[in-house]
Chain A
Amino acid sequence: MSKKWSLRKWPALRQIAERDPAGLGESAMSERTRALKPRTADADRVVDSVCPYCGVGCGQKVYVKDGKIMDIEGDYDSPISLGALCPKGSASSQLVAGTHRVKKVLYRRPYGTKWEELPLQKAMEMVADRVKKTRDETWEEQNKNGHLLRRTLGIAHLGGATLDNEENYLIKKLFCSLGMVQVENQARI
């Protein structure tokens, strides 16, 4: 590398040569910074999503590499958020990939003092059995005036409001058809 060339790399000279008196433009770039790229540039896929926290509905871009989420960023195309995310939305990559997540079904038996793990299929079977038993035992066909009730007050439900519409639809459809009327949601709270 010639002497002349290295002198030209001296920042003050570059700021003058490149008409960048504040030193905030191109002249601030080193070879290393020039080679830097965002972590997300290596993503295999970018998936369109929506923030799961509040009702604003900010757009999210989910960056995936090797089947894992690398990062979640705001979506600049969204007319709602134009790329922005608030502290909660920005933390959603930790929500999905954090160590807090439990990955097994847990079970506490009556009067038990600890959690036990259960296989998913077994747990589903146990819940279905309990629904059937409680429903059959607490069924009300009609009231004393002979009006149809066709329901059970023995089982209730309370859902969060970060559930999808499709989920709520199947919850209402199934539970209603089982005769459950005490089906409620955070939407009332």
Chain B
Amino acid sequence: MAECHPVGFRWVMEAKRRGATIIHIDPRFTRTSAVADIHVPIRAGSDIAFLGALVNYIISNDLWFKDYVVNYTNAAALISKDFQDTEDLDGLFSGWDVEKGQYDPASWQYEGVEVSPAAGHREMFSGEPRAERGAIIAAEKHDYTLTDPKCVFQILKRHFSRYTAEVVEDACGISKALFEKVARALCDNSGRERTSAICYAVGWTQHTVGVQYIRTAAIIQLLLGNIGRPGGGIMALRGHASIQGSTDIPTLYNMLPGYLPMPKASYDTDLQKYIEFNESASGWWSEFPKYMVSLLKAWYGPAATAENQWCYDYLPHITGDHSHMVTVAAMADGFVQGYFVMGENPAVGSMNTALQRKGLRQLKWLVVNDFAPTETAEFWRKAPEIASGEIKTTDIATEVFFFPCAAHTEKEGTFTNTQRLLQWRHKAVEPPGDCRSDLHFIWHLGRRLKELYRDSTDSKDRAIRDLTWDYGSKGAIEEPEAEQVLAEINGYDSSEQKYISGYKELKSDGTTICGCWIYCGCYKDGVNQPARRKPASEQNWVAPEWGWAWPDNRRLLYNRASADLEGKPWSERKKYIWWDEEQKKWTGYDTPDFIVNRPPDYRPSPDAKGIDTLSGIDPFIMQAEGKGWLYDPSGLLDGPLPTHYEPEESVLKNPLYGQQCNPARMEWVRRDNPYHKAWGDSRYPFIATTYRLTEHHTAGGMSRWLPWLCELQPEMFIEVSPELAELRGLKNGGWATISTMRGEIEARVLVTERMQPYVQNGTTLHTVGIPYHWSYVGRSRGNAANELTAFIADPNVSIEESKAFSVQVIAGRKRSDRRAAAGGPLNESDSGGPERDHPPVQEKPGGKHGLKAGKTELTEEA
């Protein structure tokens, strides 16, 4: 965190000054470790074993927060009697469907009722939506003594019982003493009086089990009562100025703004069905139709009527997974003609960059918007395979357009930071020359296309013709009015002609217009709320008048949980939101995340519907039953509980189960994306992990061109321990060649004790640390780490695994510039090896473009 979110880390240091214990868990010793109280050098890819052991420690030592767990989580819920755990099936859960190659989650459900998952996970639902979904939540069965073997708490206890301190030693390379020190520190600092926070970044997400890493952290925080309370929570540290915003208003294939799912062709055949399959009968998602209709009204205006289902049919439908790597594999096979790359540099930042470039070579046209031509824009003349002569520029047919972009100071608009906080930037100066904002580019492109389709009578063109696109513009360059776009995102009431002040005002009758329901209120009263800048010194510590946080300017989600069952703060020290008996409402330092006048003693009647089903002690209002999910009965594709699986390419056999890898992972089995052996591949004996440096920014588009930053970190390098250096004859400051079957790169060597070998079961394991900023253009150049990585992904969110894979390292400069995606796999002999999967999983059907992932097959109809 000190390296990649330096100014955010000042608050960690402030907490330390006030007595907090800082624990840093990272394979590397970094600037964060240097000031932490405890550094835990963990083997990359083994975090679930470590976190699972914490869960086991909390439960077996009876250190969980009883009132919180019994009342605010689903610990007491009874699970279907058909459920079988990884304990019973050697690393698999019940429900593996051999034919479809994926899990059927039916046996994971609550006894008697099937619930849909909360926000952000709805779109992950696989398979055919079930008729009983949305059944009355009151039918759920509980055992509040938490002793029934079928209750969540007992299942959790059993599932994690094998995650012991000894397993941590074997799987993570962390001593029992160090593990126990961390466990004690965490538990001592949780409870009524104290809370602990967990911060993570892509070191946790970029794995084939990335989502389950975060789930394990959520289980720990729920057991300790650390969610919805000040100083608690799980903080996703976002690496980009508006990566949170890019998810909220997603340019992601599976979502519409505000975490509404994209229509699926086979199921969501009309609006009625779409709503039926996606709304929830209880909890906040029962409001779903209001958000969807308001969005359609925002997009298609007067053309959207009740008779034509608010133009629902205008939306394109998805058939399976259309995520980034899936698209690029299809591109490399010639199935994509045109590609817009805006402020992104996949030829450096995405996996198996040679395969990315193979995709670019197959395009008819490519549009890149950036400050200067990046590696993605220059792939046709400067890529390694061009330099090596394997590919000739004059053979590449792709037309390339490079549009210079405006800087953040040359346009106005909002970023959403890592805390869900929207902050407006004012424009300082005009962009130079033909540089333009992406807003300018997309708006003018839209205007031109509307013009091109103006006279079309083809029904396929109705969406573009009816699209509302009348934003004002200003200045000689006709820059669209960003504030008008923000106002549409906020929404307005078409009958009363006023801006909507919050999502509770949205309606499903077409009278409200709202581009993103969770952002509703950001333009409340016609005031640009994200532009508010009341100085920190002039308001309370929550600073509610600086910018605007979604939803409803709420700074801490699920904050009802900061009060006890009766609505009183758990302790004076941790006071945040409480029930004011006199005023009969929730109040406190922040906007209450609850129905503001619902008293703590409210209990729904058995026939209650929608948000009336939420009782006064249901803080997790986005969940169907208002409870925090220790156990996830639906919404995840790889199991209801986190399970330790090894990375696709590991140095170890899974120490916990016979099933080596996540059975539901996405693989691309193709010659231009070869994998090493599951473990023990003597050709690739070392663990590799990639990361960022303080002085550069991801794929380098905003840093490798700046002399100041290039002077601070001028050159590509790898970090290795003195032990590995000795083993391989590597010299500090000298050259090393690092290779995988995908490619071969060279880098300078930094020999440092900050990297340490692990001794596990008598074997010494070495890690190679590889920063991934560099590539072949820019002012500071070097070989790209992602020439080494492979297309391989988590099934839930299709994120790649780049934080743990296997490599070879030898001393000296590279001899070739070989790439699997140009000349075929390196080191092709001897590729057989131990199986990653149990026999039923091995049957997983293969899909298009080499993709092996059950969920794609299930919804794919072609």
Contacts and interface: CB of A to CB of B under 8 A. Distances in A.
Interface of A: 45, 47-59, 62, 64, 67-69, 72, 75-82, 84-92, 94-96, 98, 100-115, 118-120, 123-132, 134, 137-139, 141, 143-145, 147-189
A125 B445 CA distance: 8
A182 B723 CA distance: 46
A81 B8 CA distance: 7
B776 interface: no
Interface string B834-862: 00000000000000000000000000011
Contacts of B445: 124, 127-128, 131, 174
Interface string B402-442: 11100111110111111101110111111011111111011
A94 B344 contact: no
A64 to B, nearest CB: 5
B748 to A, nearest CB: 21
A39 to B, nearest CB: 16
B: interface residue count bin: 35 or more
14 contacts: A47-B428, A64-B429, A82-B536, A105-B403, A115-B402, A123-B403, A130-B364, A134-B364, A159-B251, A162-B343, A165-B415, A165-B416, A165-B519, A177-B299
Contact of A47 (B245, B343, B427, B515): B427
Contacts of A85: 7
Interface string B523-563: 00000000101111101000100100000000000000000
A55 B425 contact: no
Given A111-B395, A156-B340, A161 B463 contact: no
Contact of B336 (A58, A154, A162, A175): A154
B467 A174 contact: yes
Contacts of A169: 249, 257, 485, 488-489, 515-516
B259 to A, nearest CB: 12
A87 B712 CA distance: 9
B486 to A, nearest CB: 6
A131 to B, nearest CB: 6
Contacts of B452: 128-129, 132
Given A49-B426, A165-B489, 11 more contacts: A55-B242, A57-B418, A86-B7, A96-B410, A100-B705, A105-B402, A144-B861, A144-B862, A164-B437, A169-B515, A172-B257
Nearest to B262: A181
A77 B535 contact: yes
Contact of A163 (B244, B427, B438, B448): B438
Given A158-B339, A189-B349, A52 B327 contact: no
A56 B835 CA distance: 42
Contacts of B543: 79
Contacts of A171: 251, 342, 438, 442
A183 B340 CA distance: 9
Contacts of B8: 56, 80
B433 A104 contact: yes
Interface string B455-471: 00000100110010100
A166 B467 contact: no
The 6 closest A-B pairs by CB, nearest first: A103-B433, A160-B343, A55-B238, A57-B417, A164-B413, A151-B316
A53 to B, nearest CB: 5
B464 A178 contact: yes
**Chain A CB within 10 A, most for which of B250, B396, B800:** B250
A185 B349 CA distance: 12
Interface string B313-356: 11111110011100100110001111111111110011000000
B536 A107 contact: no
Given A104-B433, A150-B316, A158-B344, A182 B336 contact: yes
Given A77-B536, A138-B337, A96 B7 contact: no
B340 A139 contact: no
A56 B696 CA distance: 15
A113 B381 contact: yes
Nearest to A77: B535
Contacts, number: 474
B343 A163 contact: yes
Contacts of B439: 164, 166-167, 170
Contacts of B346: 158
Nearest to B381: A113
B171 interface: no
A179 B461 CA distance: 9
A161 B403 contact: no
B608 interface: no
Contacts of A129: 452
Contact of B799 (A55, A79, A188): A188
A179 B707 contact: no
B15 interface: no
Contacts of B701: 160
B81 interface: no
B453 interface: yes
Given A69-B409, A177-B314, A168 B245 contact: yes
B399 A88 contact: no
Contacts of A48: 425-426, 531, 533
Contacts of A89: 7
Contact of A58 (B7, B243, B330, B438): B7
B826 interface: no
Contact of B800 (A114, A128, A166, A189): A189
A55 B401 contact: no
A55 B350 CA distance: 19
B246 A166 contact: no
A85 B265 CA distance: 47
Contacts of A160: 240, 342-345, 701
Nearest to A174: B446
A115 to B, nearest CB: 7
